[in-house]
């Protein structure tokens, strides 16, 4: 057996069980691009600092470029018994370029190498997710603009409360996604510091320049403290938390879409491209997509709690427990990307059944608060008295089998004479919605203002 490249003191071949437990190559192979990118920057710095010769640098550089092509074309398959992606690529490089390959690991440890590769992966995918959020916000804003006058019952406790418009409802989600976007971008800025050059935990006696590698890799600057840097997985926890919060928003929307697609509501119809059938009931169209989005929120939360738990008891610096950091992040990132892509398509293609939404506004006396507000403003009543009078009006409407907006002036005045003529028009649901003109309110003009504000924000982000 050939000697393992990173095992100077271990003479026996590892037990198969140790390899099964220990090897991360089966999952960390997705980091091949980041590993090669990091090694190229490191080799360049070693050469710039005269730690390796120009000749060795060029061999390493061309060797690594070839390995990248080999992996991408399937010539070099990452399924050997190397411990991890770092050893697999270093081993391949040494096979190709000999001693120069063995010089690459000068002034570097796998501890700063993995911290770098994983951070590059997280930073790259943070941008991918953030851009998908922008695409979703764009879609939500456009559907919202179309439906800024489409009324539906706004709810609290899942009970009809006050009339709002569907655009306004969608903009609530667009606002959540805007916060999500800002959260991803602030994590990006906070974590954009280069770990490479920290070596095992304490730095290195070689005359390296961490500034050179940091610049070459697009980081803001090198990290401050090497002991922290090789022990830190906050950047991974941040993307997990950011994904969990975003998926919680997607899950709440999914729950609403599932309800709205039910026969009892029929407020929206998901496109046939996003509905599935039943294997036994030929008539069925099921909202599997929002159900899966809601369900996948569970697994991303699991990944967050999983890594928090791995990290909580670890002494500084690197411990092998930390190899458990990756699979959950890869899974959450994959889930987030797919979920955002599907969500965008589903919202763009769903049919909004405006007639059903508006009909639903006739259930539940949605404009009752307007009567109470009228009695306060016009008759000078204390709000609590106005509230009780309105309650009696609602009771009357119930007795008559009508909605409060359908009562005549005579009906209204039979409860309280102070109710004047203008009230009938006020109790109309659309009038009620458009009366909510306060900042951030649901009135159509206010909704359209919110549309404009988000459009302005979107163009400032994309520009």
Q: Is 84 in the site for ligand ARG (CB under 6 A)?
A: yes
Task: Name the nearest CA neighbour of 51 among 113, 109, 103, 111.
Answer: 103
* Six-digit token string for 224: 């401050």
User: Residue 7 or residue 271: which is nearer to ligand ARG going by CB?
Assistant: 7
CB of 177 to ligand ARG, least distance (A): 32
Smallest separation, CB 171 to ligand ARG (Å): 42
Query: For residues 423 and 280, what is the distance between their CA atoms, to the nearest angstrom?
Result: 53
> Shortest Cβ distance from residue 35 to ligand ARG (Å)?
10
**Strand 151-156 and strand 159-165: pairing?**
antiparallel
With vertex at residue 219, the alpha carbon angle to CA 216 and CA 225, rounded to the nearest 5 degrees, is 110
Q: Single out the residue of 94, 194, 297, 323 in contact with ligand ARG (rule: CB under 6 A).
A: 323
Region binding ligand ARG by CB under 6 A among candidate stretches 45-53, 143-151, 318-326, 335-343: 318-326
Please, which residue, 56 or 112, has the CB nearer to ligand ARG?
Answer: 112
Cβ–Cβ under 8 Å, residues 148 and 434: no
Min separation Cβ 198 and ligand ARG, Å: 12
Q: Side-chain half-sphere of 84: how many Cα atoms within 13 Å?
A: 18
Angle at 306 between CA 303 and CA 311, to 5 degrees: 130
Q: Are 208 and 199 in contact, with CB atoms under 8 Å apart?
A: no
Among 110, 147, 183, 274, binds ligand ARG (CB under 6 A): 110
Per-residue HEC secondary structure of 50-67 comes to: CCCCHHHHHHHHHHHHHH
| Distance between CA atoms of residues 226 and 293, nearest Å | 39
232 binds ligand ARG (CB under 6 A): no
365: left (phi over 0), alpha (psi -120 to 50) or beta: left
- Distance CA(91)–CA(97), nearest Å, equals 10
Q: Which helix (H) or strand (E) holds 151?
A: strand 151-156
108 binds ligand ARG (CB under 6 A): no
Q: Is 181 in the site for ligand ARG (CB under 6 A)?
A: no
Q: Is residue 408 flagged as an active site residue?
A: no
233 sits near ligand ARG (criterion: CB under 6 A): no
Q: Which of 28, 112, 145, 416 binds ligand ARG (CB under 6 A)?
A: 28
Whose tokens are 């804003």? That residue is: 141
Catalytic residue (one of 7, 53, 271, 278): 278
Is 235 a binding residue for ligand ARG by CB under 6 A? The answer is no
Total residues binding ligand ARG (CB under 6 A): 10
Q: In the numeric block, which tokens belong to residue 31?
A: 């980091």
Beta bridge partners of residue 155, listed in sequence order = 160
Establish whether 105 is a catalytic residue: no
Tell me how far, at minimum, the Cβ of 118 lies from ligand ARG, in Å: 8
- Is the Cβ of residue 123 or residue 450 nearer to ligand ARG in the bound state? 123
List the catalytic residue out of 2, 50, 157, 438: 157
Choices 37-45, 107-115, 181-189, 191-199 (CB under 6 A): range interacting with ligand ARG:
107-115
Rounded Cα distance between 72 and 12, Å, is 34
Supply angle C-alpha 449, 129, 286, rounded to 5.
Answer: 80
Residue 237: CB minimum distance to ligand ARG, A: 15
Does 322 sit near ligand ARG (CB under 6 A)? yes
Give 30 or 134: the residue with its C-beta nearer to ligand ARG. Answer: 30
Residue 303 in contact with ligand ARG, rule: CB under 6 A: no
Residues that bind ligand ARG (CB under 6 A): 24, 28, 84, 110-111, 114, 318, 320, 322-323
| Residues annotated as part of the active site | 157, 278
């Amino acid at each position: 057996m050939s000697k393992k490249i990173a095992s100077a003191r271990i003479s026996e071949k590892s037990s198969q069980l140790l390899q099964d437990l220990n090897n991360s190559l089966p999952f960390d192979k997705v980091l091949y691009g980041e590993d090669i990118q990091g090694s190229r920057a490191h080799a360049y710095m070693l050469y710039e600092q005269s730690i390796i010769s120009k000749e060795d640098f060029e061999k390493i550089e061309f060797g690594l470029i070839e390995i990248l092509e080999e992996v991408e074309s399937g010539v070099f398959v990452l399924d050997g018994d190397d411990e991890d992606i770092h050893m697999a690529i270093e081993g391949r490089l040494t096979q190709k370029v000999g001693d120069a390959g063995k010089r690459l690991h000068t002034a570097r440890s796998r501890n700063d190498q993995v911290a770098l590769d994983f951070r590059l992966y997280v930073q790259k995918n943070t941008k991918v997710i953030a851009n998908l959020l922008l695409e979703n916000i764009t879609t939500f804003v456009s559907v919202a603009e179309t439906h800024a006058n489409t009324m539906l019952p706004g709810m609290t406790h899942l009970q009809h409360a006050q009339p709002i418009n569907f655009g306004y409802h969608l903009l609530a989600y667009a606002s959540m996604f805007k916060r999500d976007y800002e959260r991803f971008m602030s994590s990006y800025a906070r974590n954009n510091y280069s770990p490479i050059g920290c070596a095992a935990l304490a730095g290195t006696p070689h005359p390296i320049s961490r500034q050179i590698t940091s610049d070459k890799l697009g980081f803001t600057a090198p990290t401050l403290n090497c002991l922290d840097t090789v022990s830190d997985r906050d950047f991974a926890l941040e993307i997990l938390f950011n994904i969990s919060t975003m998926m919680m928003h997607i899950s709440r929307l999914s729950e609403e879409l599932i309800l709205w697609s039910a026969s009892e509501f029929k407020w929206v119809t998901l496109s046939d491209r996003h509905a599935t059938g039943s294997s036994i009931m030929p008539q069925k169209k099921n909202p599997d997509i929002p159900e899966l989005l809601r369900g996948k929120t569970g697994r991303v939360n699991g990944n967050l709690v999983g890594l928090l738990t791995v990290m909580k008891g670890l002494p500084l610096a690197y411990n092998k427990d930390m190899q458990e950091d990756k699979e959950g992040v890869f899974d959450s990132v994959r889930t987030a990307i797919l979920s955002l892509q599907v969500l965008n398509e589903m919202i763009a293609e769903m049919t909004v059944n405006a007639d059903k939404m508006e009909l639903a506004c006739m259930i539940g006396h949605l404009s009752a608060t307007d009567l109470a507000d009228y009695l306060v403003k016009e008759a000078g009543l204390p709000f609590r008295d106005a509230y009780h009078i309105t309650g009696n009006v609602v009771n009357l409407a119930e007795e008559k089998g009508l909605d409060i907006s359908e009562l005549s002036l005579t009906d209204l005045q039979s409860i309280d004479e102070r109710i004047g003529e203008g009230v009938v028009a006020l109790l109309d649901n659309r009038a009620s919605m458009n009366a909510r003109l306060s900042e951030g309110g649901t009135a159509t003009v206010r909704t359209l203002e919110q549309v404009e504000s988000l459009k302005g924000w979107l163009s400032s982000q994309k520009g």
